[in-house]
Structure formats: C-alpha cells, structure tokens
Amino acid sequence: MKITVLGAGPAGLYFALLMKKQRPAHAITLLERDGPNDTFGWGIVFSQRTVEVLKDSDPDTCAEITRRAETWDDVAVVHKGQRITVGGNRFYGIARITLLNILHRRCLDHGVEIRFLTNVADLSELGPSDLLVGADGANSLVRRAYADFFLPLVDLRQNKYIWLGTEQPFEGLTMGFRQADAGLFITHSYRFSPTMSTFIVECPPEAWLKAGLDRMSGEETCVYLAGVFKAELQGRSLRSNNFAKWLNFPLVKNKRWHHRNVVLLGDALHTAHFSIGSGTKLALEDALALAGCFAEHRTVEAALPAFERVRKPIVDEFQQAATESLTWLENVGEHLGLDPVPFAYRLMTRSKRVGYNRLKQKDPAFIARYDRWRQEHPSTGAIPEEFLDLFQKRTFAHLATQMADGTPHVTSVWVDYDGKHVLINSAKGRLKDRNMEQRPHVALEITDPDDPNRYLAVRGAVAEITEEGADEHLDKLARRYLGRDQYPPGWKLPGEVRRIYKIAPERVTPWAPFR
C-alpha cells in the first residue's frame, strides 16, 4: 500500500512506524513542514497508563522514551501561597523534541521516508496514494480541505495560554494560581529534563488585556510572568522560543473521521486540553488503533470505518473529561475563596474521572487532611461539599411524590439548592404541585449527567411552597439548563403561576462508588 502521511508529529510518526513494522512492504512517506530539530513548545507529560500502552505496542520506543524521561508521583497545587501535594500520580515528562527524535529514528530505521522542510499548501501538491492520513495538527489542512465531509467543530476557548520554559526544576506537576494586579494567572509546570521544565501559563482574556500582554514582546512577557510566579520559580527566569505566542485553546471535534481513502489522526481529529495532559497520548493511541484496524481488516474501505467505530467512544470520553477540566479552570474564580486543601480537592476531581475513593487510594494522607478540614468546617447544608457541582450543571432530578391513593408519582425536574433546601420550580395545579401541597414527603434521585453511576438520593419534606420570586428563579434555571437569559415565555401555559418548592432534606445518600 502507498501511504502518505501529512504531518510528522507524534500521531503521524507513530502510525507510520507501526504500519511499517506490520508490513515492511508498505511505501510510507511523511511530509513535514519543520526540520528534524524544530518543534513548538517544550516538554510533554505521559501518565503511567500511557507508558503501559506504548510498552505493549512497541517496547523499543517505550524503553527509549522512559529512559529519557523525568518521572514523579506528585501533583502540587499552589493556592493562597500554600503548596499542597497529592501523591499516587505517576507521570513521565519528556521534551517534545526528544520524543520526536526518538520516533524519527525508529521510523528511519524501519524504512519510513520522512521529507522534512516540506510545507504542503494545497492537497493537490500530493501525488496519488492508497491512503492519505491527515496527522497535521490542530489547524489541519486535510480537515479544512474535506470540511464538508468531516464536519468539524472548532470551539476556540476563552482563556489565553502560552507555552514557556524555565530552568526551575519543578518537583511534580505543579499547578499554581496567582492573583496579580491585572487578574488571575494559572501555571501548569513540570520538569521534562534534569535541567528544564515546561511552564504553561493561562489567564482569562480580561487579565491578559489589563496586563498589556497583547502588546508585549516575547521577552517582556517572560519578565512579566516571572514576576507573577516569582515564588513558584524561586526567582528563576522564563524562556520563550521562536514558537512562543499567546493562543486560545481550540477544542476540535469531527462528526466524521474518514472520507474515501482519507482519515484524520491526533490533534487534527480531536484536541484535549493540556490541563489533563493527554493530547500526545491520544495522538499515539489513535495511531495504535488505526494500525490495529489495518492489521485486522487489511483494506482501506474496511479499516477506516472500524477505526471510527472502535476509537470514537474512547476519545469522546477523554474529550469530555478534558472539557470538564478546562471549563473548571475557566470558571475557577468560583473556587478561589476556598482554603488550599479543599481547593486542591476540587482541582483534583475537576475532570470527574477521579473522586473521593480514587483519591483515597492514591494518597490516603491527603484525604485524611481533607477529612480533617471537613470536620473542622462542617457543611452548613445537608448536601455534601463534593456533590454541590450537581447544582451547577444540567442535572435532572427524578422527583417522587405521593398520590392520594398512596401510589407513587415520578417526574423529571430541574433542580437547585439554596444551601439549606433542595429547590424545585413547577406550576400551580400540576399533579406534583397538588401532591406536594397535600402530602409533603418526597424523594429525589439527582443523577450526575456526566456519570450516571454518581448520584444523590434525597428524602425529605416540602418545608415551604412560595410563588414569590418563582419567575425569576425559573429564569435563573433557564440560564443553566437552556443557556438562555429568560425562560421562553411561549413555554408557559396561559395564566400559569410558577411556584418554588423548598424541600428540607432529612436523609441524603451520596453515591459515587467507582470514582
């Protein structure tokens, strides 16, 4: 098979390597605009799990990567000047250029042709091939050329970020939150060689403009940010390289993954926010999955649909976690008032992939500190602190009320919490309204829309029913559930009178056994 791969990043290189190993007869050409020693950014991170996947698929590459990588177990959270560490998170940090050079060598050793310094401006420049792989990154030319078929969605996120380097050797993956005069700045930093660390900074656009970062040179930017993060950097400087510039993170998705003999891979297909450090992992695993589909199905016609079928659910799940993480960081202002320990807990659980139980397994000492903090600061309401997020998203509750004949009645409702009562908003005269007015005992099951295995079961009684403020409350709910400023007036029945039902919880059962 004649295979052309556009882009020699991790996805393109690893796919070419695995295909060539699978069938040395394949003629594989990689086209790359950069030279073999050019790259953007500094270092990247892999988790232990990724390393295990690589070990199974190509032990030699994996051995080389782990030999050259820095390792650590802690995530450190710096908030209000205090450093909280959470252990049990084995990570590997490696310079992006080192990773690429390892893959270059492996590809060349196996007979893959890599044409460096070859910028492809138009796909018509490419000769015919049996398979064209668009592994050309987040701004993919292949994706744009076939946009009518791939149906891409590119959501540019609000925060500005820049990828810098420093000689400060960070211990563990450090996330620092600093309030400067201009606003909030967040760093994600980690060591990727004995002498160098990656230092990514992100900030809301308001802080970026107020600080004048839109007008600063690379050098001025480094000086400014080194001042903001003086404590984390212990006075060391920041460095930019030729590729350093402020960007908005593009959240890329594609409705379709392949068209005829063309397929997308890695960032061209999907991006995952750097705060969960999984972009390179996803790129390499895509390559592995696509090569696996060719091993099983042989033909392009069969392998490409199989790739989408097998891989998409996994990628969707990761993107969901990464999106949770980036959204949390975009809205971190809501959490900045917290003490460092509960703040670190919220940060560690932000992607919803890890919860209390998993954290306890990873680092019992951290959870003991968190539990101590909870005992010293008992929740003023009945809903546990770590389940309050359910009232910040589009969570539907199932409300059970009792009919006059004693039989149950269940409806799906929007749900809110005022710190003391669970709030439901409905209309006078409806069945549930009459039930709650006459028989105030109710039960609710409030399920996390992102993880149906996580829910709150609440039993209690309606303490108050009020019409006061009910329309405003409904508008507030519409902002969360519909993304609209106002509940659509056309959705109300003529003469509808809205009511708020304040349910005092008597028994609350939080359920999240698998996280």
Ligand X SMILES: Cc1cc2nc3c(=O)[nH]c(=O)nc-3n(C[C@H](O)[C@H](O)[C@H](O)COP(=O)(O)OP(=O)(O)OC[C@H]3O[C@@H](n4cnc5c(N)ncnc54)[C@H](O)[C@@H]3O)c2cc1C
**Shortest approach of ligand X to residue 236 CB, angstroms?**
20
Of 187, 342, 352, 336, the C-alpha closest to 275 is: 187
Sign of torsion over alpha carbons 399, 402, 403, 407: positive
What is the distance between the alpha carbons of residues 39 and 322, in angstroms, rounded to a whole number? 24
* Binding mask of the shown chain, residues 254 to 283, with x at each position contacting ligand X by CB under 6 A: ------------xxx-----x--xxxxx-x
* Binding mask of the shown chain, residues 148 to 167, with x at each position contacting ligand X by CB under 6 A: -------------x-x----
**Shortest approach of ligand X to residue 70 CB, angstroms?**
12
Question: 18, 69, 141, 397: which one contacts ligand X (CB under 6 A)?
Answer: 141
Applying CB under 6 A, which part among 132-140, 365-373, 445-453, 500-508 lies near ligand X?
132-140
**Shortest approach of ligand X to residue 172 CB, angstroms?**
14
* 3-state SS track over 152-191: EEEEEEEEEEEEEEECCCCCCEEEEEEEECCEEEEEEEEE
Applying CB under 6 A, which part among 40-48, 288-296, 342-350, 358-366 lies near ligand X?
40-48
Nearer to ligand X, 133 or 512 (CB): 133
Count of residues of this chain found to bind ligand X when the rule CB under 6 A is applied: 33
* 3-state SS track over 457-499: EEEEEEEEEECCCHHHHHHHHHHHHHCCCCCCHHHCCCCCCEE
Residues 182-201 that bind ligand X (CB under 6 A): 200
- Tokens read off for 385: 């602190």
What is the distance between the alpha carbons of residues 391 and 482, in angstroms, rounded to a whole number? 14
Nearer to ligand X, 8 or 474 (CB): 8
Nearer to ligand X, 281 or 473 (CB): 281
**Shortest approach of ligand X to residue 233 CB, angstroms?**
18
Binding of ligand X at residue 31 (CB under 6 A)? yes
Q: Are 277 and 200 in contact (CB under 8 A)?
A: no
Of 145, 136, 119, 199, the C-alpha closest to 167 is: 199
Burial class of 24 by CB neighbour count within 10 A (0 to 12, 13 to 18, 19+): exposed
Question: 4, 5, 12, 146: which one contacts ligand X (CB under 6 A)?
Answer: 12
The residue with tokens 């950097």 is: 233
Nearer to ligand X, 45 or 226 (CB): 45
Binding of ligand X at residue 135 (CB under 6 A)? yes
Residues 276-315 that bind ligand X (CB under 6 A): 277-281, 283
**Shortest approach of ligand X to residue 138 CB, angstroms?**
6
Binding of ligand X at residue 102 (CB under 6 A)? no
- Quote the longest CA-to-CA distance of the chain: 79
Residues 6+ apart with CB under 8 A from 174: 75, 76, 77, 78, 187, 188, 189, 190, 232
Q: Are 383 and 455 in contact (CB under 8 A)?
A: no
Q: Are 290 and 284 in contact (CB under 8 A)?
A: no
**Shortest approach of ligand X to residue 97 CB, angstroms?**
11
**Shortest approach of ligand X to residue 6 CB, angstroms?**
6
Question: 70, 92, 137, 204: which one contacts ligand X (CB under 6 A)?
Answer: 137
| Residue 97 three-state SS | helix
Nearer to ligand X, 176 or 279 (CB): 279
**Shortest approach of ligand X to residue 405 CB, angstroms?**
59
Nearer to ligand X, 13 or 444 (CB): 13
What is the distance between the alpha carbons of residues 267 and 319, in angstroms, rounded to a whole number? 12
Nearer to ligand X, 160 or 499 (CB): 160
Binding residues for ligand X (CB under 6 A): 6-12, 31-34, 41, 44-45, 119-120, 135-137, 141, 161, 163, 200, 266-268, 274, 277-281, 283
